[in-house]
Amino acid sequence: MKKIIILIILTITLTGCIKNENFSETCKVEKFSENITDKTSTKVTYNNKDEILNATVTKTYKSKNDKGKETIKSIKESSDTYNQKYADNPNIKIEISADTEDEYQIKYHLKVQKLDDNILREFELRKNSIRYFNLMKNEKIECK
């Protein structure tokens, strides 16, 4: 009888020790042209249930010359239209971090589990972290 009681106490104790921890990783992609540098960084927070909870997608554009400044100007104009789609979505927060003629940076803060798959696909995300990291590996993107 003592052994059964000890086993029950151990089971309850061990079950209580299991936590739902959150982890985060960042994947980065850099593209270089003769006029601009285009960097995309995706920081994901996921839990031990293999669900991506939140993601921050940061897009940074820097000009290298006058043509690059024109390119950044057109990127700003097109991103205004792109952002209008998401302006009313409570699960997407849009933040303009840098806005000069030489640099433009925009951040999308996403509540991944509350977004549908079509929106996630636009940000190259999945709700499941294993599938997301496999996608990044297939694209030869390094995640740290």
CATH of the domain at 42: 3.30.1830
Question: Rounded to whole angstroms, how far apart are CA atoms 126 and 51?
Answer: 9
Residue 12 lies inside a defined structural domain of this protein: no
Residue 121 lies inside a defined structural domain of this protein: yes
* pLDDT reported for residue 42: 92
Average pLDDT in the 119-137 region? 85
Residue 13 lies inside a defined structural domain of this protein: no
Residue 143 lies inside a defined structural domain of this protein: no
* pLDDT reported for residue 19: 55
Question: Rounded to whole angstroms, how far apart are CA atoms 110 and 91?
Answer: 6
* pLDDT reported for residue 20: 62
State the residue range of the domain holding 83.
Answer: 21-138
Residue 114 lies inside a defined structural domain of this protein: yes
22-57 as b/e, with b when 16 or more CB fall inside 10 Å?
eeebebebeeeeeebeeebebbbbbeeeeebbbbbb
Residue with the bigger pLDDT between 90 and 30: it is 90
CA torsion 75→118→52→107, rounded to 10°?
20
Average pLDDT in the 95-111 region? 93
With a cut of 90, say whether residue 90 has pLDDT above it: yes
Residue with the bigger pLDDT between 4 and 89: it is 89
Residue 45 lies inside a defined structural domain of this protein: yes
Q: What is the band of 29 on the pLDDT scale with cuts at 50, 70, 90?
A: confident
**How many structural domains are present in the chain?**
1
Question: Rounded to whole angstroms, how far apart are CA atoms 125 and 43?
Answer: 11
Average pLDDT in the 77-100 region? 90
Residue 96 lies inside a defined structural domain of this protein: yes
Residue 16 lies inside a defined structural domain of this protein: no
pTM: 0.79
Q: Which of 47-51, 88-92, 113-117 has the lowest mean pLDDT?
A: 47-51
* pLDDT reported for residue 17: 46
Give the phi and the psi of residue 87 in degrees, each rounded to 5: -60, -35
